[in-house]
Structure 1
Amino acid sequence: MSANRLGKGLEALIRPEKEKKKSPGKKTSAISGVTEIPLKDIHPNPNQPRKEFDSSSLEELMMSIREKGVITPVTVREIESGYELIAGERRWRASKKLRKRVIPAYVIKVEDDADMLEIALIENIQRDDLNALEEAEAYAVLNSKFGMSHDSIAKAVGKKRVTISNSLRLLKLPPEIRKSLRKGNISAGHCRAILQSKTIPQMMRIWNTILENDLSVRAAESLIKGSQNTQKKKKVKVRSKSSQITAIENQLIEVFGTKVRLNYSKTGGSIEISYFSDDDLERIIDLINTIS
């Protein structure tokens, strides 16, 4: 499956039957190419990127389906035991709870599980249905299970390579922090700030402080910069650093998506860019080459 087709979204993958020519006095079907499939024949996708299904949101969807029916068909592929969901698990779940017998569906051919995951991932991303951690986990499956590089994933889902690499870094967080991100207690921005810490105990301390004080992402970044300088002299240096140098550091952090330190003096200095894996280093090098 080509990255170009995937980048265009789910619609580019669905090939409904051609509409029949209109005959006088007859209406053409508004759902040409859509098949009604018994719910009992449809099985969930084991590689579904979305793990969390909000109960209140599902109740609202049930009310809508009860009133209007399933407006947007689900997407499935044929398997030996019936059909497997590719996109539309919330609609499928809601219809089952309503004890519906059938659901409208597109049946498409998918070459392999990697293509199926790509389609499911794209559908969820386009609907903004995934939280940051679910998105990172889906990228990780494409990378580790199906051997796709960060660049290939980026092309497939229509995002920048740096976005994929930064997303995957979230999986390096301790389990407690990942759980907090999944629940929405902290944001992906908070987590990227936390990842600037070098040890798990430091990460946990920063995380607890963020929760206890309801810190913004910018405040969390400032806190981490202070905590990284444990020696008194270094702390004094950080406090005395000019606002101009701090502003430049913040700009560089925005550009490189990682911790950057500017060591400035009137006679010269250095810029330190931190990385956390080979992929992260490759991402930074690619970014520098792009800039140059």
Structure 2
Amino acid sequence: MEAYLAWVAIDLVIPNPMNPRRDHSIESEQMQEILRSKGWAEAITCYRKGQYYIILSGHRRWHAAKKMNEKEVPVYIVQAPENNAEELDRLGSIQGGQVDWTPYEWAKYTYDIWKNSGKASYSQLANKLGISQSLVGSRIRVYKFYPRIEIEDKLSNGMYSLSMLDYILKWIKRVEKHHFELYQSMGEELIRKQMLKKYENRCFNSKIAIDNIFVTSACSKDILEFLTDINKKLQDCQFELELLKVDNEVDVTQNKLNVKMIIDEIRLIECRTKNEAGNLKEELNKLLKEIELKENQLFDMVEN
């Protein structure tokens, strides 16, 4: 089919349901002013579906025209896409360079492209979209993990960043791996919401991406305390863990010294009479029982 230009009734023009942008009213007043002062410098790109025209490019111009009560709009009619994958392709290629999609809308678009391509590899998709493989992965993971209502507006106004949302997601998955009972008892939704609140309170930075110290070494009680206190900083938790580690090392060293001193004292024991020997033997038997008791306690700690 050869593309052509036509003026059509605006009621027959329909926004594309696959378009990532949900709100077409963004900067609508400015767009209306442009249409009034400069007219239609560029038609709306559509394809026909029965009597209707499905938009591929020009959603904001269409919305502005609706607000201006226009009866007809210029439509550049092109060949209809053969499938969903091609339609997404064309939506991105036609609009991507012209429309300032939000980070969330780009994430949705990337996810839809990936899904409709049969879940192509991230490297293939990166080549297709002209972006890095890591950005493809972040967009897909963030779109799948977070509800739109939780992140879209805050991504748009810069309160959240896509990379930090991806880091938080990966950290939560580490909690699931290393503290599964806690993860199950709290539930993913609550953990996610708590971490987003802590993100807003600046309780951690991008180093959370490589946090393998606290999340893997701390006990579940410490993880729970960090998650439930929305003002507790990850850096403080890591510092407390390091102090505890130092204290434990000091305790171990002191215990080793104590044992050595006991051994040395036993070696220095002397007796001059049978009566002294009997008394010492009785004391040593008591010591052996204490050693056996302590050995059993240590064995239980190691087993558990």
Bin for the TM-score computed over the shorter chain: 0.5 to 0.7
1:48 matched to 2:37: no
Q: Contact (CA 8 Å) 2:46, 2:77: kept in 1 or not?
A: yes
Q: Contact (CA 8 Å) 2:107, 2:142: kept in 1 or not?
A: yes
Q: Counterpart in 2 of 1:8?
A: none
Distance of 2:77 and 2:67 partners within structure 1:
22
Q: Counterpart in 2 of 1:211?
A: 200
Give 1:135's match in structure 2, choosing from 94, 99, 106. Answer: 106
Q: Counterpart in 2 of 1:159?
A: 131
Q: Contact (CA 8 Å) 1:73, 1:106: kept in 2 or not?
A: yes
Give 2:41's match in structure 1, choosing from 71, 85, 96. Answer: 71
Q: Contact (CA 8 Å) 1:49, 1:120: kept in 2 or not?
A: no
Write the letter of the residue equivalent to 1:178. Answer: I
Give the CA deviation at 1:86.
0.8
Which secondary structure state, in structure 2, belongs to the residue aligned with residue 45 of structure 1? coil
Distance of 2:208 and 2:132 partners within structure 1:
29
* Cα deviations by residue, 1:120-168 (Å, 9 ceiling, x for unpaired): 1233332352222221222222222442513443333222333212210
Structure number with bigger Rg: 2
Superposition CA RMSD, Å: 3.3
Distance of 1:148 and 1:65 partners within structure 2:
40
Q: Contact (CA 8 Å) 1:66, 1:98: kept in 2 or not?
A: no
Give the CA deviation at 1:88.
0.9
* Cα deviations by residue, 1:7-45 (Å, 9 ceiling, x for unpaired): xxxxxxx976xxxxxxxxxxxxxxxx5433321221111
Write the letter of the residue equivalent to 2:103. Answer: A
Give the CA deviation at 1:52.
2.9
Distance 1:197 1:203, change over 3 A: farther
Distance 1:128 1:89, change over 3 A: closer
Distance 1:238 1:43, change over 3 A: farther
Which secondary structure state, in structure 2, belongs to the residue aligned with residue 104 of structure 1? strand
Distance 1:47 1:68, change over 3 A: same
Distance of 2:58 and 2:155 partners within structure 1:
21
* Cα deviations by residue, 1:72-128 (Å, 9 ceiling, x for unpaired): 221101111221111111111111111112222221113233212211123333235
Give the structure with the higher percent helix: 2
* Cα deviations by residue, 1:246-281 (Å, 9 ceiling, x for unpaired): xxxxxxxxxxxxxxxxxxxxxxxxxxxxxxxxxxxx
- Give the alignment's TM-score, normalised by structure 1: 0.59
Distance 1:77 1:128, change over 3 A: closer
Q: Counterpart in 2 of 1:58?
A: 28
Q: Contact (CA 8 Å) 1:74, 1:85: kept in 2 or not?
A: yes
Which secondary structure state, in structure 2, belongs to the residue aligned with residue 52 of structure 1? coil
Q: Which has the higher contact order (CA 8 A, sep 6+)?
A: 1
Distance of 1:79 and 1:52 partners within structure 2:
23
1:178 matched to 2:154: no
Write the letter of the residue equivalent to 1:131. Answer: T
Q: Counterpart in 1 of 2:299?
A: none
Give 2:205's match in structure 1, choosing from 210, 216, 220. Answer: 220
Unaligned runs of 5+ in 1: 1-13, 17-32, 240-292
Q: How many residues align?
A: 206
Q: Contact (CA 8 Å) 1:132, 1:188: kept in 2 or not?
A: yes
Distance 1:194 1:92, change over 3 A: same
1:187 matched to 2:161: yes
Give the CA deviation at 1:207.
1.4
Write the letter of the residue equivalent to 2:198. Answer: T
Distance 1:179 1:80, change over 3 A: same
Give the CA deviation at 1:192.
2.2
Q: Contact (CA 8 Å) 1:132, 1:181: kept in 2 or not?
A: no
Q: Contact (CA 8 Å) 1:36, 1:102: kept in 2 or not?
A: yes
- Give the alignment's TM-score, normalised by structure 2: 0.57
Q: Contact (CA 8 Å) 1:38, 1:103: kept in 2 or not?
A: yes
Write the letter of the residue equivalent to 1:230. Answer: A
Unaligned runs of 5+ in 2: 176-187, 223-236, 244-304
Identity rate, percent: 17
Distance of 2:168 and 2:56 partners within structure 1:
34
Give the CA deviation at 1:67.
1.6
Q: Counterpart in 1 of 2:276?
A: none
Give the CA deviation at 1:223.
5.8
